[in-house]
Amino acid sequence: MSIIIAPSILAADFSNLQKDILMVNNSNADWFHIDVMDGVFVPNISFGIPVIKSIKKNATKPLDIHLMIIDPDRYIKTFVDIGAEILTVHYEACNHLHRTIQKIKSLGIKAGVAINPHTPVSVLKDIIKEIDLVCIMSVNPGFGGQSFISRTYEKINKLIKIVKKEKTNVLIEIDGGVNDKNSKKLIDSGANVLVAGNFVFSSKNPKETINNLKQNIYN
């Protein structure tokens, strides 16, 4: 399975978002990772619908939209309509997770489930065959620039055991604190989608940073 790099637009330059979108288009990145926050589920507010529409208009790569919001079911169709190709909801935000996943998949896109650092991967055992992606939060959600939580490696290993036992296949996405120091170990542990925010957009040459990150994984 090929490795996917998904720059997190939360860390981009909001005063010149188009420049950063074009940079990602022209880089070796594979997806745009877009965090949607409501200020309730997480202590921050991020992109609204108009901004994501604008990103979609200029993006040439899939939009990986991560809903960090309460009651995500109310907005699933809206995000599909504006261009989500992967839509991830939080286990902790869904009272009826199976129904939520079914709704996303019925609209013809990939469905993902994210879990916070304190949530064990074992909660996904009964839903794992229904989903396309598991997003393991390797920082506490809500803000960029946080330090990577090293227990993430153990969670990847436990998740892989569940996936193998259930004889299914999912993408394993790591979100938070990803950089050139931990990317190879994450991939070697079994992850195949890396979300990188501050590490990419705070670098002097973000395009080169993305390219080097991908090259580092394969070396």
Residues known to be catalytic: 35, 175
Q: Which of 27, 43, 83, 80 is nearest to 201 (CA)?
A: 27
As a whole number of angstroms, the distance between CA 66 and CA 109 comes to 13
Token pair of 111 as six digits: 């469905």
**Intra-chain end-to-end CA distance of the chain, in Å:** 16
CA angle 131, 132, 133 (to 5 degrees): 100
Round to whole Å and give the CA distance between 160 and 191: 9
3-class SS of residue 23:
helix
- Which DSSP helix (H) or strand (E) runs through 88? strand 84-90
Check residue 38 and report its DSSP letter: B
- Three-class SS of residue 192? coil
Record the tokens describing residue 30, joined without a space: 């594979």
Inter-residue contact 73 to 100 (CB < 8 Å): yes
